[in-house]
Structure 1
Amino acid sequence: MRAVVIPPVPAAAVLVSVLEGVLDGREPGILPLPADEREAELLSTSLRVGEDVDDDVAVVVSTSGTTGTPKGALLTVPALIASADAANDRLGGPGTWLLALPAHHVAGLQVVVRSVISGTVPAVVDPSFTNDELCAAIETMGSGPRYASLVAVQLDKALADPAATAALASLDRVLIGGGPMPANVAERATAADIPVVRTYGMSETAGGCVYDGVPLEGVDVRLDGGRILLGGATLAKGYRNPVDPDPFSEAGWFRTDDVGGVDDSGVLRVLGRVDDAIGTGGLTVMPALVETALADHPAISDCAVFGVTDGRLGQRVAAAVVLAAGAAVPTAEELRAHVARTLDATAGPREVHVVDELPRRGIGKVDRRELAARFDAGG
């Protein structure tokens, strides 16, 4: 396995060439690495660059865990191609893509794979783009079907600028992954006619494999006591550094850390991560549901819900909020009453912390663990 360092704004033609060689078997498997030297060295060492991998492994994608040794999802050529083909089919056919996510993460990597499969070269913009840069990149994409893959914080940034909003609205589809999308962002995108597709997936499934709650062709979904299991053609063959218990232990399935439900029409709804669940007074509260309930409060621009230690309840629900412009700080009692309009009152926050911005990790996921560590006073 060889390392490929990918700069923040990579040369698109070079990326396409590298992936072409890997996908057609001319080149050995690769480990995409970020440009940051410390992170690249850590990943190179822990995922054993230079040592052999199975011949059918095309790419080892570093997982985004915040602690421990990176596991490294082993993605084969068939899994990558199945994912790209299924995405193209669901979206309406091959097209030109905008690469606005780091290509060492699976979402950005799959933009390049889809481009290879489509015979196109993606337009590239820095993941921390300015809105002018976003508009300029979209302008270069030409005619025919045009797609983008973003995370919610990038979409939120674009929605603050009329020109960037119009540029995204001109695309045929805009995939949004990397975690839940705040309700206010979704509402603004809909009002602006941006053709958003919400995606769910991970490195272990070659990226997004469920679009708007519906599995892509060749993808299987089932629930086990509320835990989401994913299987099918896009599944990785395991980890470079296996863990115990092994989420791949059941042949053909990956046991995620997410819980969810399926509605009467068969649409999957992801409720959150198992380890994000808050046990308060014998009840279980899923932070994502509370965040959705809080999102339309007029004082809140963005929020994250997490648990802190409580000597009586075990945990209590806390909320970190970014205030809307000019808004007064809402009290916990006010927010609990707001949540109680749509959820059990127990789910409402018992404490509120105002922050300038929410901490994030990876490609934009809210870091609830950091918030809990910051604000947990020990009960």
Structure 2
Amino acid sequence: MTRPLRVVDSAQAEAVLEAVRDVLSGTGPAVLPRDTGSSAGADAARSPAIVPQNVALVVETSGSTGVPKRVALSADALLASAAASASALGGQGQWLLALPAHYVAGVQVLVRSVAAGTDPLMLPPGHFDPVAFADLAASMTADARFVSLVPVQLARLLDAAEENPHVLDALRAFDGILVGGQALAPTLRQRADARGVALTATYGSSETAGGCVYNGIPIGSTVVRSVRGLLEIAGPTLAEGYLDDPARTDDAFHVDAGHRWYRTGDLGHLDEGTVVVTGRADNVIISGGEKVLLDAVERIVRAQPGFEHAVVLARSSSEWGQVPVVVVDSPSTVDLAALRSVVGDALGRAAAPAGIVRLVRLPMLASGKPDRVAITRLLDVPPVT
């Protein structure tokens, strides 16, 4: 059995909402929200006209570290995620959409709104303006108010809140602020705590219908385990697989002990039931014969003043094989020697960055994540320290 697939321009969030409402009610075709303004989105020929009957939503991944994928999600998975989120947040309410509707965190705001029977407010696409965000948030009418953000948006809001009480009031008025898409830096959480802004750090992916771990605790019926240091997730929110890619589906999903598991590709462990994510398994290098986890290096680097948005990538070295390199787009008060000392003391000499590359602007994805593929392409210039 199959059903038609409808491609909807994600810039038209109202249209995406209507399409999501229709497919969840069983009256409409499957939905693929897409950034049609991007070069990838312009290639609509990549989308099939039909999908399996149980597929309600297709989410195309950003491809920040590899080949993009098309994740196929059922209505049951989407609604299970919405129900788990509502339970974890203490109930349903009204949502503000501040993320692109072609990313799972954005479209899930719409799914949760449909499940709650509330009308979401939608920030116009384009440059993220903290004041416009605050103005829209102030117009929310429900007793319970929620929003989903990525760290870069949160940082801009907190920056603006330092000078504008209206922005701070808007942040404090939310009953739940989900922050995901990438790791939430401890310094950013501390800034929010100091301003009386309560955050929920989320962990998940398109393959889990969005965030399925809140502040380290699996929500709903989600189960997380560590297998040889790699995190796996089971539960009702798992995707059906990757559209028209059975090999990749079989590699990522498997059945064990009566459960279907998703191999996340993330390194991590459980600490008395709390999920601890340490980094991507494919973001490890061997430098001078020692294993270096670049995500761990990046966390240390980002804790230094002026390096809050730095990216750490691998670079070839004739002497060491590979070395970490820090990429920034702003001046800093920390020189390379100081940075090497801080990282070396925390993680060992092999993890110490070999150089600092300063770019005019860090390429970013629409989700707010650094575009690591684009940044890597720019690293053919000598490091500048």
User: Superposition pairs for residues 9-28 of structure 1, below 5 Å?
Assistant: 10-11=13-14, 14-28=15-29
- Find the partner of 1:102 among 100, 103, 110: 100
Indicate whether 1:209 and 2:212 are aligned: yes
- Find the partner of 1:122 among 117, 120, 123: 120
- Find the partner of 1:237 among 235, 240, 247: 240
CA deviation vs aligned residue, 1:141-186 (integer Å, no higher than 9, x gap): 1141111001111111111112323311221111111111233322
Indicate whether 1:262 and 2:270 are aligned: yes
User: Superposition pairs for residues 259-338 of structure 1, below 5 Å?
Assistant: 259-263=267-271, 265-323=272-330, 327-328=332-333, 330-338=334-342
Distance 1:288 1:67, change over 3 A: closer
The residue type equivalent to 1:275 in the other structure is: D
Say whether the 8 Å CA contact 2:64–2:372 is kept in structure 1.
no
User: Counterpart in 1 of 2:32?
Assistant: 31
Unaligned runs of 5+ in 2: none
CA deviation vs aligned residue, 1:15-35 (integer Å, no higher than 9, x gap): 443222211211121212224
Say whether the 8 Å CA contact 1:359–1:367 is kept in structure 2.
yes
Kindly report the root-mean-square deviation, in angstroms, between the aligned alpha carbons of the 2 structures. 2.3
Residues in 2 aligned to 1:108 and 1:228: alpha-carbon distance in whole angstroms: 24
Residues in 1 aligned to 2:358 and 2:185: alpha-carbon distance in whole angstroms: 17
- Find the partner of 1:190 among 189, 193, 201: 193
Say whether the 8 Å CA contact 1:9–1:126 is kept in structure 2.
no
Say whether the 8 Å CA contact 1:101–1:107 is kept in structure 2.
yes
Say whether the 8 Å CA contact 1:182–1:302 is kept in structure 2.
no
Distance 1:294 1:248, change over 3 A: closer
CA deviation vs aligned residue, 1:169-215 (integer Å, no higher than 9, x gap): 22111111111123332221221121111111111111111111111
Q: Secondary structure at the match of 1:133?
A: helix
| TM-score normalised by L of structure 2 | 0.89
Q: Deviation of residue 101 (structure 1)?
A: 0.7
Indicate whether 1:159 and 2:158 are aligned: yes
Say whether the 8 Å CA contact 1:309–1:378 is kept in structure 2.
no
Q: Secondary structure at the match of 2:310?
A: strand
Residues in 2 aligned to 1:355 and 1:184: alpha-carbon distance in whole angstroms: 23
Q: Secondary structure at the match of 2:247?
A: coil
Residues in 1 aligned to 2:38 and 2:328: alpha-carbon distance in whole angstroms: 34
Residues in 2 aligned to 1:26 and 1:341: alpha-carbon distance in whole angstroms: 59
Q: Deviation of residue 375 (structure 1)?
A: 2.1
Q: Secondary structure at the match of 1:194?
A: coil
Say whether the 8 Å CA contact 1:47–1:240 is kept in structure 2.
no
Q: Secondary structure at the match of 1:308?
A: strand
Residues in 2 aligned to 1:287 and 1:338: alpha-carbon distance in whole angstroms: 15
Say whether the 8 Å CA contact 2:225–2:270 is kept in structure 1.
no
CA deviation vs aligned residue, 1:95-116 (integer Å, no higher than 9, x gap): 1101011111111110000001
* Bigger Cα displacement from structure 2, 177-186 vs 302-311: 177-186
Residues in 2 aligned to 1:343 and 1:271: alpha-carbon distance in whole angstroms: 13
User: Counterpart in 2 of 1:218?
Assistant: 221
Residues in 1 aligned to 2:141 and 2:122: alpha-carbon distance in whole angstroms: 13
Aligned residues: 370
Residues in 1 aligned to 2:380 and 2:273: alpha-carbon distance in whole angstroms: 39
The residue type equivalent to 1:34 in the other structure is: D
